[in-house]
Structure 1
């Protein structure tokens, strides 16, 4: 066992978040962040802090001791894992509808928890999700047959942080913030009805399936931020090998992109689109986007000349950009802005972030430091990576890989023998769900590429 790598000890930031009315069963309000290093508009969610410990002991899709049962339980709760391996959802999804929840995937013994043949839909508030892998996949379904699960999506959720997770092989999006567009009568009410105050940090969202079972046809999508979602932060994530939506911000969205790496986008990378067909009868709202210190690097699947940011639809986007890099697969500069509709939509470039456009106190890397930083840290359990995370991240570093139609194009669903180990409460700080000794289950040494027997012999 080794001590926690320095890269897992991010700065502790205190970030203000709007208070919500809390029922009597809610945890007491706290000034603490969700865990050391939590940032952004979702950083101060309590999750299940102070609640009961629920132990996942079964890898079955449902029933006693399962993750599904823990998610369906009521009241503040911290979900820990006394088993590691694969949870096969059999083409269903997990729904989270009960608030005040922490899913602590870091507590699982090695190799951690991987969910396959399904996804997670989060439909509530005050939730922390960390160190879980979701590999949705087509599961042999025919093209355009109707299987269209997201790997992960918030739906009208708020006060949420999703940190150090892996979302791949989505048949719809890989990692999104969604919800109803027009709940209520005013723009403020619309924003309260959509997902808001969400942080996505240090996640890997990769290899969305293109020509697969989605009924619309091509649907390799990274992240969708639905109309009127507000205070959505993407911080130090990796998007790789998605045709588009890395991310797509829909009409009226308020979001920030800071220190993310976008590799091998196909047709679009970052884009904004308020669609008149979807806003009929509603007053258009300006979108707001602050993008600082991001890197977009073209790969084998990327259209020639692809811009970093593209504008479609009819609504205006107020945009603040600083220190962003966009290059093709050979390192040649790409344009920062383009458009895919000859409409009246305007890109309104701001000289400073709009009010509330960036979380307070956010640590920001220079763009030239982003790629090295996030490739070492993004995704589930970076101290204990699985073979597919290693493959994707090493291919990003090497400029390899491509957009795929089916998980079988590059790999297969993992087959892992279940591993059991007790969760010992005394070994963990239950407020942050960090190990007291700084050693995570499965930490064994520097992360290495998966090698063939021949390569391993050569490198001895």
Structure 2
């Protein structure tokens, strides 16, 4: 039985178990969607937009598809590499589903660029962004993918590597508005990052600040953020970093070979000058950190500066010898006994089961992983991997032979973009 068939049967089982409907009866974006964004419709009910070329722009391109207005579902009739040639694409029109699962093998991989989401009600699944920097000079420093003042966005089963700033982040202005509630409304909120590979942020690359191997930044006052079931591998820092006033749940993630810092909270005083410090809220449950070849001695979670309530339960931290490492460092007075923020429909796995789940299910198209994702999974299994400065250290940009296959609507549930049996 192929991995694709197993995956499709699992999706069908989720539907039968009722996991396509939220606790309040709203339809989920797709079976198993979780977090505050889980009921976004994305492009449901909209036009089917077919990507028919791997060109970076023009008729039939992905860039043209995301620029369209109105509800729309982007499907792919091509597979291979979309070379963005340094472009950072912007998604500005809401009600969009990007269904990378519809592409023929080897799926869709973007190189030398990134994507920013500036709008609401967006679902992104099963794409790879392998940013890299070997073609650029100092000062080129984009994220691979970022939400900017966006909301109701799900980023699920994607693979992000070789980011120059961060690999995958939620951002926006800190203080847009007159009150803290307005600040939270006007920056990214209701964002889910689930089942992704977020790996190998570039360290000494083209970022103007020098060392910048970073996984995920959750910016100041970003709220209702769900980071669930992701693999963070060989990032120096920010696996993830929650800045001042951020409010998030961090559940069932596996952190392999963090370089210097795994997960932390930190408010930068200079950035908040003239504004009262907002209290962060973090719920950290069922995660695993495994030190690797690039790792210093670090805890799973570092409580740095700023007011914050942190709840931690059922987490595992191991050093290079397989012995218990520290779970927490910082001001223990900020640890609380009740979850300060939670989304009731989240059902955490036990931390002991996380590694097996991650290895089987994480990243873009787990039934059809490319060589880079297979290599990163192998690093987890074999306790290998390293923080890198350039994509050239791990083989450079991938090369795939382009493929084509017509998208057949009758083969897909267009409400959830899951394949029919």
TM-score, normalised via structure 1 length? 0.88
**Which of 309, 319, 324 is equivalent to 2:310?**
319
Report Cα offsets for 1:53-103 as digits up to 9, x if no partner: 000001111111000000000000000000000000001111100000000
Q: Distance in 2 between matches of 1:397 and 1:403?
A: 17
**Contact kept in structure 1, 2:20 and 2:30, CA below 8 Å:** no
By how many angstroms is 1:272 displaced?
0.6
Shift of 1:349: 1.4
CA distance in 2, matches of 1:395, 1:7: 26
Question: Which of 375, 378, 384 is 1:400 aligned to?
Answer: 384
SS of 2:57's equivalent? Answer: coil
Corresponding residue for residue 6 of structure 2: 4
Match of 1:134, SS?
strand
Deviation at 1:346, TM superposition (A): 6.9
Whether contact under 8 Å (1:127, 1:161) holds in the other structure is yes
3-state SS in 1 of match to 2:112: strand
**CA deviation profile, 1:112-156 (whole Å, cap 9, x unmatched):** 0000000110110000000000000013334xx111121110001
Q: For residue 227 of structure 1, what is the aligned residue in structure 2?
A: 220
How large is the RMSD of aligned CA atoms in angstroms?
1.5
Aligned counterpart, 1:150 = 143
Q: Secondary structure at the match of 1:231?
A: strand
State the SS of the aligned residue for 2:374.
helix
1:309 partnered with 2:301:
yes
Structure 2 equivalent of residue 433 of structure 1: 417
2:28 aligns with 33
Cα deviation for residue 397 of structure 1 reads 1.4
Report the CA distance between 1:222 and its aligned residue. Answer: 0.3
1:287 aligns with 2:280: yes
Question: Match for residue 455 of structure 1?
Answer: none
Rounded to whole Å, the distance in 1 between the matches of 2:36 and 2:336 is 21
Which of 33, 41, 54 is residue 49 of structure 2 equivalent to?
A: 54
**Structure 2 vs 1, CA of residues 16 and 189 (structure 1 numbering), >3 Å: closer, same or farther?**
farther
Q: 2:29 touches 2:41 (CA, 8 Å); kept in 1?
A: yes
**How many angstroms apart in 2 are the aligned matches of 1:198 and 1:15?**
16
Post-superposition offset of 1:169: 0.3
Q: What CA distance in whole angstroms lies between the structure 1 residues aligned with 2:142 and 2:409?
A: 35
Task: State the TM-score, normalized to the length of structure 2.
Answer: 0.96
In structure 2, the residue matched to 1:338 is: 329
SS at match of 1:85: strand
1:347–1:192 CA distance, 2 compared to 1 (3 A): farther
* Alignment check: 8 A CA contact 1:138 1:406 kept: yes
Alignment correspondent of 2:152:
159
2:191 matched to 1:198?
A: yes
Equivalent residues in 2 for 1:215-254, closer than 5 Å: 215-254=208-247
Unaligned stretches of 5+ in structure 1?
A: 18-29, 340-344, 438-460
Measured against aligned partners, the alpha-carbon deviations of 1:178-207 in whole angstroms (never above 9, x if no partner) come to: 011001011111100110001111000000
Give the Cα separation in 2 of the matches to 1:14 and 1:65. Answer: 34
Q: Runs of 4 or more off by more than 6 Å in structure 1?
A: none
Q: Cα deviation per residue 1:406-450 (whole Å; 9 max; x = unaligned)?
A: 00111211111110100011111100111112xxxxxxxxxxxxx
Matched, 1:110 2:96: no
Which is richer in helix? 2
Does residue 296 of structure 1 match 2:280? Answer: no
